[in-house]
Structure 1
Amino acid sequence: MCDIIPKKLETSEEKLNFINSFDNFLFDCDGVIWHASTVLEGVREVLYTLKKMGKRIIYVTNNSSKSRATYLKKFQKLDLPATLDDIFSSAVAAAYYVKHFVNIKEDEKIYVVGGEGICRELEEQGVHWCGSDDDNKPISEEEFTEIQPDPKVRAVMFGFDVNINYRKFARAFTYLNSNPDCLFLATNTDMTYPTKHLEFPGTGSMIHTLIAGTKRTPTVLGKPTTNMMDCIIQKFNLDRSRTCMVGDRLITDIAFGKNSNLSTLLVLTGVTTVEAMNESKDIKPNYYISSLGDLHA
């Protein structure tokens, strides 16, 4: 049972006091800053104001399909304040984790189920990879003998993959099942993937095939786990007591902040309604506001 009573930010004084309480703000993107390619009203002004006040802004997303360079192009197109270093996706967390927390050798590699986001970020960290788009081609039973254990595969990294197929499942299963020392890593376990009009299956839905087959549990590197936050805190040298997580989902964004001893702000422009927030027994934010864009008023 959570004993936090969320405080609604309403007056200008409350909003200013809130902003002055923190040096660093971690922002989810979808449902907080934008919907698809539309920036939410007032959000651009708030972000620029925070930057002018000297606040550290880090954009934290579980979407591993895009690289930071690709995300940066979107921020620039939408006229939002961002540099490459301000963007921290689950792909970045995964690559950073492998480089700094896994003792990976020069001749070892990561088998990737996922898109170019993971691959580019692994390359940025100097980590070798295989799989991904190279395994997009469907497989026939006659080709099954081509899939063999490979002791050089140090880990299977599973992320969101719109080209998921049996070839990828078979390779990942083989590497994990044949070598107990092969790490099982996941960028996130979000069960759904939001699109402009509907929700589709997410990474969590897809990865359960491997979990069931291998009877292994992956180390999750995205929200809401502390693994991702540990990477962020170490990389940016943040003071947790002066850092606030801002998001629209209780079970990912707000739990992410809570699990890592951060203050949290829930915005009501995404998944969570005020009714759902009030009904939640285990996860509640410290603060909430109708929209991030209202923070400047």
Structure 2
Amino acid sequence: MVVNATSVTTAPPVKKATEDTKRALLGKVDCFIFDCDGVIWRGDSVIDGVPETLDALRKLGKKLVFVTNNSTKSRKGYLGKFTSLGLDVNAEEIYSSSYAAAAYLESINFPQDKKVYIVGEVGIQEELDLKGIRYCGGPDDADKKIDLKPGYALPHDEDVGAVVVGFDRHLNYYKIQYATLCISENPGCHFIATNLDARTHLTDAQEWAGNGAMVGAIKGSTKREPTVVGKPAEFMLANIATTFGLKRSQICMVGDRLDTDILFGQQGGLSTMLVLSGVTTEQALLSPENTIHPDCYTDQLSDLLEAAQSAA
């Protein structure tokens, strides 16, 4: 029997959300966890319709949590960004990977006599300060250089018990070597990555190399795999659920990345919605090569607005 190839079609693994899909989602979900870059904003610009959509969801009694893998700011720093963009968000609703790193160190009872070496920016420092954890590196090492003269060996602090690698716009060879020495030569030194994002939104004009590039450099020199605390790691979700008193079956993860946001939700037993306002394109989502499929997808977060207003 010969089958006409033109009559055989393969259904896409996931369908675009209809109004019925959106209403059903709103009916079963009590809490939405939102990624920030690519969902709430791009660079320093709020995505159209987001403020109105957040207000409508709040009127329905939905709990909102804003999660970002970007570690350059602390929760306090992100609150400032939300406010500057005209978004009414409370500090306790924000969960950054800089906070996740500090929370992880606290969860393992990081010794008080040890320090953390930071490859990253001020967000990690501010969160470690709040936990009373000592640190070095970070912005203080932004301009440091190494004079590779004969016989020179870079000294490092033997009291460093953990290296935390977050996004760092001032990454340099000094930081890479210092982190490598701490991880390789200090007994029991932890290697912690805030996230492994390949790309990030620094401006609304293009995508930029993400923290995966920074972590990759140190993975290459140490031949060690880091403990990842940001999305899609289980630690972040477990900590969020505990902190906010949430049941996973009542949570929906909304994000723009398949390999972090959607995987984060799926591995944690959450409902998932992908928005196409950030990194992932519809072509990439529906590609036969893609194996990460959200429960539904839509163009942008404001596509929920009409359904939320109708439900109210």
Q: Same fold (TM over 0.5)?
A: yes
- Aligned residue in 2 for 1:10: 18
- Aligned residue in 1 for 2:98: 91
- Aligned residue in 2 for 1:211: 219
Q: Is 2:186 the counterpart of 1:179?
A: yes
Secondary structure of 2:73 counterpart: coil
Q: Is 2:292 the counterpart of 1:286?
A: no
> Residues 32 and 63 of structure 2 are in contact (CA less than 8 Å); yes or no, is this contact kept in structure 1?
yes
Which digits, 9 at most, give the CA deviation of each residue in 1:115-165, with x for residues without a partner? 000110111122111111121232233795451351x21100001111111
Q: Is 2:141 the counterpart of 1:141?
A: no
Q: Whole-Å Cα distance in 1 between the matches of residues 112 and 140 of structure 2?
A: 21
1:238-257 to 2 correspondence within 5 Å?
Answer: 238-257=246-265
Q: Whole-Å Cα distance in 1 between the matches of residues 206 and 290 of structure 2?
A: 27
Q: Is 2:304 the counterpart of 1:295?
A: yes
- Aligned residue in 2 for 1:110: 116
Secondary structure of 1:141 counterpart: coil
> Residues 71 and 166 of structure 2 are in contact (CA less than 8 Å); yes or no, is this contact kept in structure 1?
yes
Which deviates more from structure 2 when the two are superposed, residues 185-194 or residues 272-281?
272-281
Which digits, 9 at most, give the CA deviation of each residue in 1:246-271, with x for residues without a partner? 01111111111112111101112122
Q: Whole-Å Cα distance in 1 between the matches of residues 272 and 245 of structure 2?
A: 19
Q: Whole-Å Cα distance in 2 between the matches of residues 252 and 153 of structure 1?
A: 29
- Aligned residue in 1 for 2:310: none
- Aligned residue in 1 for 2:195: 188
RMSD: 2.0
Structure of greater Rg: 2
Which digits, 9 at most, give the CA deviation of each residue in 1:180-221, with x for residues without a partner? 410000001112232322233221112222111111111111
> Residues 153 and 175 of structure 1 are in contact (CA less than 8 Å); yes or no, is this contact kept in structure 2?
yes
Dislocated runs of 4+, deviation >3 Å: 142-146
Q: Whole-Å Cα distance in 1 between the matches of residues 281 and 148 of structure 2?
A: 51
Which one of the candidate residues 158, 164, 167 is aligned to 2:165? 158
Q: TM-score if structure 2 supplies the norm length?
A: 0.88
- Aligned residue in 2 for 1:61: 68
Which one of the candidate residues 53, 76, 81 is aligned to 1:74? 81
Q: Percent identity?
A: 43
1:5-44 to 2 correspondence within 5 Å?
Answer: 5-11=13-19, 13-44=20-51
Q: Whole-Å Cα distance in 2 between the matches of residues 117 and 149 of structure 1?
A: 22
Instruction: Structure 1: state its 5+ residue gaps.
Output: none
Question: Shift of the alpha carbon at 1:37?
Answer: 2.2
Distance 1:218-1:123 versus aligned 2 partners, 3 A rule: same
> Residues 72 and 83 of structure 1 are in contact (CA less than 8 Å); yes or no, is this contact kept in structure 2?
yes
> Residues 147 and 170 of structure 1 are in contact (CA less than 8 Å); yes or no, is this contact kept in structure 2?
no
